[in-house]
Structure formats: C-alpha cells, structure tokens
Amino acid sequence: MEPILQVKNISKEFPGVKALTDVSIDFYPGEVHTLVGENGAGKSTLIKIISGVYIPTSGQIFYEGKEMHFTAPGQAIDAGIAVIHQELSIAKDLTVAQNVWLGREKRKKNGLLDSARMNKETQDILDFMKVKLKATEIAGYLNAAQQQMIEIAKVISQNAKIVVMDEPTSSLSEHEIDALFEQVRILKEKNVSIIYITHRLKELTEICERVTVLRDGCKVDTMMVADVTEKQIVSSMVGREMGDYYNKHKHTQGKEMLRVEGLCRKGVFENISFTAYAGEILGFSGLVGAGRTEVMEAIFGAARLDAGKIYLEGQEVQLSNPREAIAHNIGFVTEDRRRTGLLLEKNIVENTSLPSLPAHKKALGFVNRAWEKEMANLYMEKLRVKAPNMYTILKTLSGGNQQKVILGKWLAADSNILILDEPTRGIDVNARSEFYALMNEFVENGGTIIMISSEMPEIIGVADRVIVMREGRISGEVTAEEINEQTLIGLASITSDAS
C-alpha cells in the first residue's frame, strides 16, 4: 500500500521553543493513525503543519506522491485535507448549516446565497451521520458534543481524503464517543486516512491501526496498535515505566462544607439537593448534557437560580456572582477553557494569580509580585507546565498546558471548596497522576472537591462518593463500595429509567 501522506524530516521552531525536530511519518488511506505524547510533545504543531496553518522551519510534505507547499489552511482544504482542531471553531450565532459551509458558501447563479441548498445538503449529511440535529438550529445553543458533530458534518461535506482530529473525544461522554467512532468507521470505509490525536489510550484498540509516539518534539516510534500494549505506549511516551496513576486514597469525611437544597432552574435542572463534606472528593457522573455543569455554575454564582438554597458550613448564603463565590473560597475549574478559564493574551504569572489577587494586594492596591512569582513557579513545577518561562503568554502553550495553568490558579487561590468540571480533559497521563496526587493532598488538608467527570475510570479511580445526574435531576448517589462502571452507567442512562 502506498502512503497517501508523508511528512519527511519536519522541524518547527518558535522563539525559544523547538516544537518539532526531524519528524518523519507515513500515513495510509483507510487507516486511523494516532499521534500520542505528553502535553507539549508537538502533536498539534505537526497537524497544523500538515494542514497549512504553520509553515515548517525545515522538512517536506508529500501528498499522493507530490511535494506540497501549503502556506494557508485554504490550500490544504482544497487539496482534501480537513481538520477538526483541538479548540472547536464554531461560530455560535450561525446555524449548523452556515457553520458547515462557512467560507465555502453555496451560491445561486445570481450570486446570492443558496441557503435552501446548504440546509438541505447539511441535513442529508446529519441524517447520514444519524445525528438528531437540525441544519437550521443555532450552533450556540448546542452543547460541546453537538458542536463537534457540526465539525464532522463539515469534514464530510468537504469530501476530504485526509481527516485530522485533534482530541475529538475530550469533550464527549462515553455514549457520544461511540457515536463519534461510528463516524470514524464510516470515514475509514470510504478509504479516508484519519490522523487522530488523543490522550485516552484505551481508544487506540477501538479504532486505530497505527500509533506514533512523540516525545519532546521527536518521533520515538511508529507501531501497529495490534502489536503493542497500552503500557508499552505509555512508557515510550514518558520515557519510563508508569505505575497506577490514580493511586486512590481512602478519605475520611469531615464537617459539612456545602449543602444545597432544592436547586432549580426551569428547563435545565430541578430539585437538586446534596451535601459535600470536608476531606472528600465528591464525584458527579452522568452523560454530557445531564445538567451537571449548569448546576455547578449556578452554585458558583455564574448562572441564575430559580429556586433553592445554598449553605456554606451551615450558613445560608446568596452567591449572586462568581466574585462572591471566590470571596467565600470557592474555586471553579471550568470545562471550557476558551470561554471562561483563561486570559489567553496574558502570561502564566498573571493567570495563576488572578483569583487570588484580592487577598494578596499590598497597600494602595499594588499586587504582591513576589507572592505572584512564587505561586506561578510552584504550580508550574508541581503540574509540570511546559513553557520557556513563567512569562510565557498563555495562547502559545499547548492545549494541555493551558489546562494545567487553570488548575494551578485555583490551587494557588487557597480555596476551601474546589469545583472541577472535567478537569483533566486534554491532560497527559504523567500530569494526570500529579494532578490526582494534588487533589488527594487538597482534601487531606481539609478541602472539599466536587469533580464532574464523564470519564468513568476517572470517577471510579478518584471519587469517594458519586452523585449521578440524568436529564437535569439527581438519579442516584453511590457510596465508595458501590462505585463501579455498571452502577454508574445504570443511573446515567435514559434507557434504564425506573421511575
């Protein structure tokens, strides 16, 4: 079989960073070829080169045997290379169909937009994908999983020969991942070559044929998935043997920290009551869209509540905005880092100190620079943030490293209660184990963690107790002894409805 795409001796340098060094890989049609590696290993940079976003410092790209010199993304798309980037690029105020055809709009003979045709073709694609979405829906009202389906519809509409997916499953729940894999299989049958990036290694055996490991910008090896174990892949990623990275601790429940009663927001969630104690990691499980994020946003004062009461250490409080929640020492790691988590134009120090500033102002409102630097340094080290230094601007960090900075800033903020919404999304195995260790340390020092995770093994691996939500309600609570995949899936799925 001839490779459809070859990258040869590709290197890419940014000021102060060698993102890729002399990488050569062959990609074949009808195959899923996965790139794995730790945060900052160079995966996204490589696919940005393949798709014409970046120009390599040196090296060549051969597509169907011919050397290509892409200097803009449009050229790659025209050649049949489509990309779903790590950060979704959906225009929220446009419809599904407008997003699918954005920049390639279909026009009538008279030059006017042919909306009817675009809607029709989009609907055909959505139906073919068997997703329940309307072409005319506004994208901004859809959740992350549905927005991703728009990206896939777009790729199908482009009739791409190569489809690149950068961490497509990081925002999806198990159930939605199955739906995505169904799409991947359909693309494979059409002999499309898929370049896939993921931190979830168990996905490899499900859909991938080949895997290439990158470490510090260099290619370690390309292997057939059937010939290697997950353990072998992990050790070649991190360059050493890895133990059990959850390292689950048994914690003892302390005093009541947060209690909510009858929280309700019309049409989103209702009758939400639960208590979280000091010294525990309380997991929130469920399918994406079950309302977990919305509940936490409301508790944090970031979204409206129609009814219900919130108690902190037994005292009723009104948290009408995040500033008040932060003043009560509540921290919130948001699921969508682009939207609410970070100041992308600012550096690591500024981002780390952000929620703590009110507590660390010196006289006359001047910021305590020494403290700022110490915190940034501490959490960069603890979470292994890969960046030239602490003054690196956030947007130049790799996706996973941006997420680490979010985690660091809330750990630095001296929170008592930390709400983590899919906190390890896009974080590599090594940093994950560091992060779980920090979570354990946090609750063992008397803190409370509420963690939303759609990743079943993660909930099972770290939570002391789990609340499961389904369609805006709590469908069950699971104690430490009962936490297993079957129980959680049973409570989360709509099909197992007992009421």
Per CB under 6 A, residues contacting ligand ATP are 14, 17, 19, 37, 39-45, 86, 386-387, 396-401, 426, 428
SS (H, E, C) 226-260: HHCCHHHHHHHHHCCCCCCCCCCCCCCCCCEEEEE
The DSSP letter of residue 337 is: I
447 binds Mg ion (CB under 5 A): no
- Phi then psi for 423, rounded to 5 degrees? -70, -25
**Residue 291 Cβ vs ligand ATP, minimum distance, rounded to whole Å:** 28
- Residue 171 vs 398, nearer CB to Mg ion: 398
Q: Six-digit token pair at 346?
A: 């600012």
289 binds Mg ion (CB under 5 A): no
Could you give the 3-state DSSP secondary structure of residue 386?
coil
Buried b (16+ CB within 10 A) or exposed e, 87-109: ebebeeebbbbbbbbeeeeeeee
**Residue 40 Cβ vs Mg ion, minimum distance, rounded to whole Å:** 8
Identify what 3 binds: Mg ion, ligand ATP, none; CB under 5 to 8 Å per kind.
none
Identify what 19 binds: Mg ion, ligand ATP, none; CB under 5 to 8 Å per kind.
ligand ATP
**Residue 175 Cβ vs ligand ATP, minimum distance, rounded to whole Å:** 24
**Looking at beta carbons, which residue is closest to ligand ATP?**
400
Count of alpha carbons within 13 angstroms of residue 155, beta-carbon side: 27
- Residue 41 vs 439, nearer CB to ligand ATP: 41
**Residue 459 Cβ vs Mg ion, minimum distance, rounded to whole Å:** 24
- Residue 41 vs 139, nearer CB to Mg ion: 41
- Residue 44 vs 347, nearer CB to ligand ATP: 44
399 binds Mg ion (CB under 5 A): yes
Count of alpha carbons within 13 angstroms of residue 382, beta-carbon side: 19
Candidates 200-208, 231-239, 323-331, 396-404; binding stretch for Mg ion (CB under 5 A): 396-404
Q: In this structure, are residues 464 and 282 in contact, taking their beta carbons and an 8 Å threshold?
A: yes
**Residue 43 Cβ vs Mg ion, minimum distance, rounded to whole Å:** 5
Whole-number Cα distances in Å, 163 to 18, 49, 148, 159: 26, 14, 14, 10
> Judged by CB under 5 A, which of 34, 44, 293, 347 binds Mg ion?
44
- Residue 405 vs 483, nearer CB to Mg ion: 405
Identify what 461 binds: Mg ion, ligand ATP, none; CB under 5 to 8 Å per kind.
none
Identify what 41 binds: Mg ion, ligand ATP, none; CB under 5 to 8 Å per kind.
ligand ATP
Q: In this structure, are residues 71 and 52 in contact, taking their beta carbons and an 8 Å threshold?
A: yes
Query: Quick one: which of 99, 143, 144, 162 has its CA closest to 125?
Result: 99
The DSSP letter of residue 15 is: T
- Residue 354 vs 383, nearer CB to ligand ATP: 383
Candidates 44-52, 70-78, 139-147, 469-477; binding stretch for Mg ion (CB under 5 A): 44-52
CA quadruple 425, 427, 428, 429: dihedral sign: negative
Whole-number Cα distances in Å, 282 to 187, 241, 417, 421, 483: 39, 30, 11, 12, 12
**Residue 34 Cβ vs Mg ion, minimum distance, rounded to whole Å:** 13
Q: In this structure, are residues 449 and 420 in contact, taking their beta carbons and an 8 Å threshold?
A: yes
Contacts of 415 (CB under 8 A, 6+ apart): 329, 330, 331, 447
**Residue 48 Cβ vs ligand ATP, minimum distance, rounded to whole Å:** 7
- Residue 19 vs 376, nearer CB to ligand ATP: 19
- Residue 21 vs 398, nearer CB to Mg ion: 398
**Residue 86 Cβ vs Mg ion, minimum distance, rounded to whole Å:** 5
Q: In this structure, are residues 43 and 166 in contact, taking their beta carbons and an 8 Å threshold?
A: yes
**Residue 471 Cβ vs ligand ATP, minimum distance, rounded to whole Å:** 32
Cα separation, 276 vs 280, in Å, equals 8
Candidates 41-49, 339-347, 383-391, 490-498; binding stretch for Mg ion (CB under 5 A): 41-49
Q: Which residues bind Mg ion (CB under 5 A)?
A: 44, 86, 398-399
